[in-house]
Structure 1
Amino acid sequence: MNDIPKPTKQNNRIADSHEQQWTSSSPFHGSLKVIALGTVSAIAYFYLFLLSGEELKPGAANPAYLDRFLITYAFLFFCYWRLISPLLRGRRMDPRHLWFAIAFGLLFRAVLLPSDMILSNDVYRYMWDGHMSVKGVNPYRMAPSDPRTEPHRADYWDQIDDPSIPTVHPPTFQLVFLLSELIYPANVFGMKFFLLIFDVGTIFMLLVLLDHLQRPREWCLIYSWSPLVIKEIANSGHADSVSAFLLVGCMVLITQKSFSSSSVVLALLTLTKFFGVLLLPLFHRVWRWKHFLFFFFTIILLYSPYLDFEINGWQGLITYSREWNFNAGMFDLIRDGCSVWGMESENVDPFSRLLLFSVVLVTIMWQVIVLNHRQEDVHLFHSFFIVIGTLLICSPVIHPWYLVWLAPLLVLFPNRAWLLFTGLVFLSYTYFYDRSFPNWVKPVEFGVFFVLLMWDAIFHRKKERQII
């Protein structure tokens, strides 16, 4: 992995005086670079705002508009890479320019916030879940299409995805949706704004975390300027911003040795995206038994308001786990291999899912062993990175916004392959041309990623050892 060495006093002195420091050799040049990249990026985000609308709805995307969207995203990713590439080479940014850059990141979000969602309508499901909770209806019991929901149906009801399936969103999300609905009832902008608050909070908590770990504060730009994060949260309003916020919050609490609070926050994280429970074994040397009890007690407490649902309440999660498949890399490769080798078709999917889940479990056990010998906070966080990254690689569903889970960890461990993948993953939106992927998309999207990942793993091990 092309990770950046942990800065030392000696390295900092060299960086402060070295002519390669990309913003200190000429302060005006450094600020000009930030302003130039920020200005053209802001214009590009405004162009995305103008593109958003009926022509880029997930059910009926206009191919010409989809072309423009993908080209604009590629340009934004180019600007993003130009900003962070000096950081990836170990250079430093003048602190005077950091706040300019952060301000631009906030500006990008403000530009996209009022735009219509591009190729996504998940916000309507969030609003529906919150609406049902306000009405006192358990969203796990009734799917939106259930006839019993007719008295409660809002104007946006027909825009909800998979209306025949009850919600798949765990209780922490349900609490967030409920609060948003109470403050901004039936309001798309209000829901997006509420979720954006968590995203902005993540930026500033990353600054706190970087200070605790004695890392350069400018590394927060890896998150705050990420086109993937900005598009998927400020434009599409995905609730993964809450997951990222809680993940960073948990890490900050760990650095402060607030282990009881960190156990509660990890439980809240688990009840946004269930990947949080996969991190639990990694705490075996950090928490005492009471902290594990706090974790499970919080899980039970948050689920308790929904315990009246029948087996139908698990239908959404069961359907997701067994049947959904989108933009999968390793999963599709193994599934195709099983078919070629003559495995019976009804066994291919279950076998592929079981095999890849086993890979995730083995990775967790490996990291547990690693942490027996490495006990600093940064070692634990690196294990988070390894486990979540492995989960994403092995997942049968890789929507672009799923990478928001990993985005805060890329601030601490800026791996080139994963950073590039936050750009390549947008090729998955080519699916909306005709509800299928062009033949070239997955070889490019995953091929480039895996080649670079293996290259860095083989030839950049020294840098990885230095950072952890």
Structure 2
Amino acid sequence: MANIFQTLKLYKFPILMVLACCGLYWAFAYDLARTDFIKLITLYAALFFLSWQLIKQLGWNFWVLAGIGVLFRLLFLPAIPNLSQDFYRFLWDGRLLVQGVNPYVITPQLFFTDLSTALEVTQGKQVAQATELFEGMGALNASHYSNYPPINQLCFAIAALFAGKSILGSAMVLRVLIILADVGILYFGKKLLEGLKLPLKNIFWYFLNPFIIIELTGNLHFEGVMLFFMVWSLYLLHKRKWFWAAVLLGISISVKLLPFLFLPLFFKWFFKKKGSTAPTTAVERLNPTRLILFYSVVLGTVIVTFLPFISSEFITNFSATIGLWFQNFEFNASVYYIIRWVGFQTVGWNIIGTVGKILPIVVILALLALTFFRPLDSVRDTKEIRTKHLLSGMLFAVSVYFLFSTTVHPWYVATPLMLSVFTRYKFPIVWSAVVFLSYSAYGANGFDENLWLVAVEYIIVIAFAITEIVSHTTNRKGNFRIVEG
């Protein structure tokens, strides 16, 4: 008993912080409306500060922080997401799928408004709690075809199998899957950090970050499942098990399409140093056979997961829905909002239709520049240097992509945040702290984005990023060099 009291006295401040976080997370999960921005941002700021303090004070004790992170997630288990309506669409797709109905060929809106089409596609099969799901997902979500890839759909189907007639039950099943994915990230992230000889406490900037806990576990976004397969893939690649790394990367793409963006960056991984420690030419270093096999396995895995759904109708619907994100939707953007303002001043209307076609080309050019014109920062060519170089390249690639995107929902930041854990760059942590400013758009009177707060968010993030990049690319004598992360 004396030992217990001694331990409580020694760790009284961390224990009080954990209890305070539990109370704040409970309020976030069960006593918060999205429209109450002041309360939302106050709770979030307090959680972020307390989580930072916990990492600072207990960073040496990996398993204690891991247990705390799991505890915080479990607090959300019986909660209905209150910051996002997307999960209603997840449940809809899953309930169609378990009945043998292709979720990519009919929209929820058509299900209710076009009876003949609905009967033809579903063969008279019904969706449990259809009205509640339709009303919950909102008109915008209900009006377009599903854009969630097959492995993501599999998760939705699992929820339908275990709790197909309960919205809360289905949400709990999805939440368990997301929590398990985060635990997997903790496991493989720790192993990758050990392999890269980086501090293990870095992983808690993901695992204990209130942004991750609220957006993924709380609001049921599947970036965490995508990142689980991606981190596992990167760990295996670091161990030179490229075949299974390729399979897992393909599965990651089939959860969310975003990892497609990173494929060119793997090009340099398949360069092989020969003989001397001095840099050699690209022709001498490239292992083209293994590179082609790696890409083939990745793409083959993606194709296999899509095969059960492939049809001309699927291709038309899926590609059209993906196109909407570039040419119709706009939220929490940065560079695009500046371009849009210029468009209004010059031509007098919103030029998203034109800009949405040009910005992806800019991103592709930036990606090619990162792939071919960013050399290693050392004549040494160890696997640690190569993996760090790959990870920091992925971080820059996804950051540039979001910088030029027309839509950046808060949960998108999970990917740069995860990648930053394995690099020296910390601006995504800052981004995860300020991205919740975007929720100011959801007021009591409807959607109305506060562009001043959007500007504050990106000024802080970009200024911090530039400071880090300049600091890490300038040596003590003032000379510039490229750093691999």
User: Under a length normalisation based on structure 1, what TM-score does the superposition of the two structures give?
Assistant: 0.84
Offset of residue 32 of structure 1: 5.0
Tell me what 1:284 maps to. 267
Tell me what 1:10 maps to. none
Work out the CA distance in 2 between the residues paired with 1:343 and 1:368: 36
Q: Deviations over 1:246-301 (max 9, x none)?
A: 22111111111110111111212222222211211112233512222112211221
Distance 1:401 1:164, change over 3 A: same
**After alignment, is 177-186 or 156-165 more displaced?**
177-186
Offset of residue 31 of structure 1: 4.8
Candidates 370, 386, 408, aligned match of 1:398 = 408
Candidates 55, 66, 85, aligned match of 1:102 = 66
Tell me what 1:49 maps to. 29
Paired residues for 1:36-185 under 5 Å? 36-52=16-32, 55-56=33-34, 61=35, 63=36, 66-84=37-55, 93-94=59-60, 97-147=61-111, 148=118, 151-155=125-129, 156-158=132-134, 159-161=136-138, 162-185=141-164
**After alignment, is 203-212 or 431-440 more displaced?**
431-440
Kindly indicate whether the alpha-carbon contact (under 8 Å) linking 1:140 and 1:166 is maintained by their aligned counterparts in 2. yes
Offset of residue 313 of structure 1: 4.3
Kindly indicate whether the alpha-carbon contact (under 8 Å) linking 1:403 and 1:422 is maintained by their aligned counterparts in 2. yes
Kindly indicate whether the alpha-carbon contact (under 8 Å) linking 1:141 and 1:309 is maintained by their aligned counterparts in 2. no
Tell me what 1:16 maps to. none
Kindly indicate whether the alpha-carbon contact (under 8 Å) linking 1:181 and 1:191 is maintained by their aligned counterparts in 2. no
Work out the CA distance in 2 between the residues paired with 1:83 and 1:132: 43
Distance 1:459 1:85, change over 3 A: farther
Kindly indicate whether the alpha-carbon contact (under 8 Å) linking 1:268 and 1:299 is maintained by their aligned counterparts in 2. yes
Q: Deviations over 1:28-54 (max 9, x none)?
A: 9995554343232222112223314xx
1:345 aligns with 2:309: no
The letter of the residue matching 2:189 is L
User: Under a length normalisation based on structure 2, what TM-score does the superposition of the two structures give?
Assistant: 0.81
Distance 1:197 1:41, change over 3 A: same
Tell me what 1:454 maps to. 466
Work out the CA distance in 1 between the residues paired with 2:14 and 2:267: 43
**After alignment, is 140-149 or 151-160 more displaced?**
151-160
Kindly indicate whether the alpha-carbon contact (under 8 Å) linking 2:128 and 2:164 is maintained by their aligned counterparts in 1. no
Compare relative contact order (CA 8 Å, sep 6+) and give the higher one, 1 or 2.
Answer: 1
The letter of the residue matching 1:82 is Q
Kindly indicate whether the alpha-carbon contact (under 8 Å) linking 2:420 and 2:426 is maintained by their aligned counterparts in 1. no
Q: Secondary structure at the match of 2:268?
A: coil
Tell me what 2:244 maps to. 261
Candidates 178, 195, 199, aligned match of 1:212 = 195
Q: Secondary structure at the match of 2:108?
A: coil
Work out the CA distance in 2 between the residues paired with 1:439 and 1:233: 25
Tell me what 1:294 maps to. 297
* Percent identity (aligned): 23
The total of aligned residue pairs comes to: 424
Q: Secondary structure at the match of 2:79?
A: coil
The letter of the residue matching 1:389 is S
Kindly indicate whether the alpha-carbon contact (under 8 Å) linking 1:180 and 1:194 is maintained by their aligned counterparts in 2. no
Structure number, greater radius of gyration? 2
Kindly indicate whether the alpha-carbon contact (under 8 Å) linking 1:127 and 1:191 is maintained by their aligned counterparts in 2. no
Kindly indicate whether the alpha-carbon contact (under 8 Å) linking 1:131 and 1:181 is maintained by their aligned counterparts in 2. yes
Q: Secondary structure at the match of 1:427?
A: helix
Work out the CA distance in 2 between the residues paired with 1:185 and 1:195: 18
Kindly indicate whether the alpha-carbon contact (under 8 Å) linking 2:181 and 2:228 is maintained by their aligned counterparts in 1. yes
Work out the CA distance in 1 between the residues paired with 2:326 and 2:10: 48
Kindly indicate whether the alpha-carbon contact (under 8 Å) linking 1:417 and 1:453 is maintained by their aligned counterparts in 2. yes
Candidates 443, 455, 459, aligned match of 2:455 = 443
Tell me what 1:192 maps to. 175
Offset of residue 70 of structure 1: 1.9
Paired residues for 1:346-425 under 5 Å? 348-370=351-373, 373=376, 376-413=386-423, 415-425=425-435
Work out the CA distance in 1 between the residues paired with 2:470 and 2:149: 39
The letter of the residue matching 2:331 is F
Kindly indicate whether the alpha-carbon contact (under 8 Å) linking 1:51 and 1:69 is maintained by their aligned counterparts in 2. no
The letter of the residue matching 1:125 is R
Kindly indicate whether the alpha-carbon contact (under 8 Å) linking 1:172 and 1:268 is maintained by their aligned counterparts in 2. yes
Kindly indicate whether the alpha-carbon contact (under 8 Å) linking 1:247 and 1:266 is maintained by their aligned counterparts in 2. yes
Kindly indicate whether the alpha-carbon contact (under 8 Å) linking 1:207 and 1:220 is maintained by their aligned counterparts in 2. yes
Work out the CA distance in 1 between the residues paired with 2:329 and 2:10: 46
The letter of the residue matching 1:402 is Y
The letter of the residue matching 1:160 is M
Offset of residue 183 of structure 1: 3.2
Kindly indicate whether the alpha-carbon contact (under 8 Å) linking 2:155 and 2:174 is maintained by their aligned counterparts in 1. no
Distance 1:252 1:419, change over 3 A: same
Distance 1:248 1:366, change over 3 A: same
RMSD over equivalenced CA pairs, Å: 2.6
Kindly indicate whether the alpha-carbon contact (under 8 Å) linking 2:327 and 2:357 is maintained by their aligned counterparts in 1. no
The letter of the residue matching 2:81 is M
Kindly indicate whether the alpha-carbon contact (under 8 Å) linking 2:247 and 2:301 is maintained by their aligned counterparts in 1. yes
Work out the CA distance in 1 between the residues paired with 2:413 and 2:422: 15
Gaps of 5+ in 1: 1-26, 87-91
Work out the CA distance in 2 between the residues paired with 1:185 and 1:198: 22
